Structure 1
Amino acid sequence: MSAAIGYKLLAIMLIVGFGYLVGRLRWLGSAEAEPARVLSNAAFFMFAPALFFRTTARLDLAQLPWPMIAAFFVPVVALMGLNYAAQRWRRAERGLPAAAPAVRAITVAFGNSLQIGIPIAAGVFGETGLGLHLALVSVHALVLLLVATTLVELDLARDQARGAQRIGSLGAVLRATLRNTIIHPVVLPVLAGMAWQATGVPLPGPVDEVLQLLGTAVVPLCLTLIGMSLAYLGFPRSLRGALGLTLLKLVVQPALVWAVAWWVFGLRGLPLQVVVMLAALPSGTNALMFAQRYRAQEAETTAVNVISTLAFVATAPVWLWLLTVFSSVDGPALAS
């Protein structure tokens, strides 16, 4: 990897370290006051909705590279679903909360497409590759968080119905799921943004400026939250689960995306390289925000964020080397 990408990874870890220092020294209060959760709620209910609405309202659906989008999201969502199903099957025997399967699923699926993904795309693939990467990133959070939100709200509604001894009331479960999925700080801004985009009216300048300023707070806040959560919660007693999720994220997911993109969608050259590296990115900070929102697997998700980011230093060169080797048959070589 280039020095610029290395510096970006170092900057991310330093911000996480700063968050750890803030939590360790209790600058924002004791663990009982839950300052990390307060900041997480601010990100989830204030800053992230502004980002999602602005992104969706400005999205030009006609210009998106749909074959690339399908080649990435079909295998990623499929792996997400398989992971979710496996976790649901094992949840009862492990005594995990209802939201745990969806949290683990989004932790594996969601990559750090901004802080790490953009420098990788720009530094390795050049301007053309960066453009393709940004096209995928424009719908990355929207698709994966929508899927995860639907799954977790379905589980919570089912769990609530079971607690109220209404196990057979499928209609009640579906109604609760639909209501909680739509009236949600992720989904509602997306739907509102789509409705605005459909009107063809550009966002007024002052409104766009406000949304942009609010949205820029998401990245540094979430990185700081990783460190604070590590200070308050620590690593889980057993790292087996975190290491397993990290393996799925850094090895299994990019391999699956490569196979599906090549054999099913016929991607070659630069488009193939971009989707594989997007799939190979470490776990993104939105996964921790999601875990804290539903109070499930917070320590484990924090561990996956830290471990996968550190391990990416070793796995990224391997994927880039494999892509370079196959570039002679894929199409154009990687940008220098």
Structure 2
Amino acid sequence: MTLAILYKLLAIVLVVALGWIVGRLRWLGEGTADNDPARILSAAAFYLFAPALFFRTTARVDLAHLPWAMLAAFFVPVTGLMLAVYGVQRARRDRSDQAVAAPAVRAVTVTFGNSVQIGIPLAAGVLGEAGLGLHLTLVSVHALILLLVCTTLVELDLARAHAAPDAHLGHVLLGTLRNAVIHPVVLPVLAGLAWNLIGWPLPEAVDEVLRMLGSAVVPLCLTLIGMSLAYLGLPKRLDGAIAVSALKLGLQPALVLGVAHWGFGLTGTPLAVLVLLAALPAGSNSMMFAQRYRTLEAETTAVNVLSTLAFVGTAPLWLALLAWLG
């Protein structure tokens, strides 16, 4: 692992630590029900900064030149894992008192990687310009696919849970569709895709505003992880966080490697890009997702911290395996 990647990991840990200090010293408030600064900052990220990032990304992606084979080799196993985790967690939720949104929160935490703060320097430092270009192409649709799927799942669960016993199925589905579309993640993505398909360039002034707002997502979400750690603490039991981290760092890259290499016949740089993207630690967007639905916040915080620290040991193993495969 190069020094540049280690410096990025160190920077992430330090920003999370600063957020923890801010929360621990209660500089922004006591964290009561009436004054919860972590939730206020999370709402700002979810309703203002993240939508700007999602709209700008999807409005600018080059749809005509996407590497469809690589996209399928990555998103088929990753989406399959997301649905499997969601299905298992939903079956367990039916036998327990878990929150309605818990299956979707765990599913997005297992599959959504830190593709920007860690992924970009990893691709650039290990795979060079060609690898970085492929990585950025995948990142451009990363949130589009994974967050769209998970948002639909959680909104469907919430609609079913809150529907009256005699509610018509059509009304439930219509309400789910409305809530899934009029959503701070989905709506800007769909609007960005519509703008992209029309073919209009973004006005320079608008693009600069969107870029400025979008650039706040990463430091804000990392700070939120630290603040949540200070206000909520670690969960009483870490077995859930450890299990999710193991799925993220171990099972997901193994699935992508198997599908991409033996299913799609990919080798060399394209294969390395996919495996390393799948092997990244949990992304800070999962924390934003947990905050949005007020579910498993302490566990998701722990997964972000544990998986980022463990990545220092797991990344060299995947790099060695890729080198052995040639």
TM over 0.5: yes
SS at match of 1:93: coil
Q: Can you give the 5+ residue segments of structure 2 that lack an aligned partner in the other structure?
A: none
Alpha-carbon distance in 2 for matches of 1:320, 1:263: 18
Deviation at 1:176, TM superposition (A): 1.1
Alpha-carbon distance in 2 for matches of 1:86, 1:170: 24
Paired residue type of 2:109: T
Aligned with 1:151 (options 153, 156, 160): 153
Paired residue type of 1:4: A
Deviation at 1:94, TM superposition (A): 2.7
Deviation at 1:232, TM superposition (A): 0.4
Aligned to 1:14: 14
Q: Any idea what the Cα deviations from partners look like across 1:152-206, whole Å, max 9, x if unmatched?
A: 0000000011xx2236x32122111100000000111011111111111100010
Superposition misfits of 4+ residues, deviation over 4 angstroms? none
After TM superposition, the structure 1 stretch with the greater mean CA deviation from structure 2, 58-67 or 178-187, is 58-67
Q: Can you give the 5+ residue segments of structure 1 that lack an aligned partner in the other structure?
A: 328-336
Q: Any idea what the Cα deviations from partners look like across 1:264-285, whole Å, max 9, x if unmatched?
A: 2111111001100000000000
Q: TM-score, normalised by structure 2?
A: 0.98
Paired residue type of 1:166: D
Aligned to 2:298: 299
Paired residue type of 1:112: N
Aligned to 2:84: 82
Aligned to 1:317: 316
Alpha-carbon distance in 2 for matches of 1:182, 1:113: 25
Q: TM-score, normalised by structure 1?
A: 0.95
Question: Does residue 70 in structure 1 map to residue 69 in structure 2?
Answer: no
SS at match of 2:280: coil
Paired residue type of 1:98: V
Paired residue type of 1:275: L
After TM superposition, the structure 1 stretch with the greater mean CA deviation from structure 2, 144-153 or 92-101, is 92-101
Question: Does residue 213 in structure 1 map to residue 215 in structure 2?
Answer: no
Aligned to 1:135: 137
Alpha-carbon distance in 1 for matches of 2:84, 2:229: 28
1:223-238 alignment, distance < 5 Å = 223-238=222-237
- Percent identity, aligned pairs only, is 69
Deviation at 1:25, TM superposition (A): 0.3
Alpha-carbon distance in 1 for matches of 2:290, 2:263: 33
The total of aligned residue pairs comes to: 324
1:1-336 alignment, distance < 5 Å = 1-32=1-32, 33-161=35-163, 164-166=164-166, 169-327=168-326
Root-mean-square deviation (CA, aligned residues, Å) is 0.7
SS at match of 2:94: helix
Alpha-carbon distance in 2 for matches of 1:55, 1:283: 20
Deviation at 1:91, TM superposition (A): 0.7
Deviation at 1:146, TM superposition (A): 0.3
Q: Any idea what the Cα deviations from partners look like across 1:120-160, whole Å, max 9, x if unmatched?
A: 00000000000000000000011100001000000000001
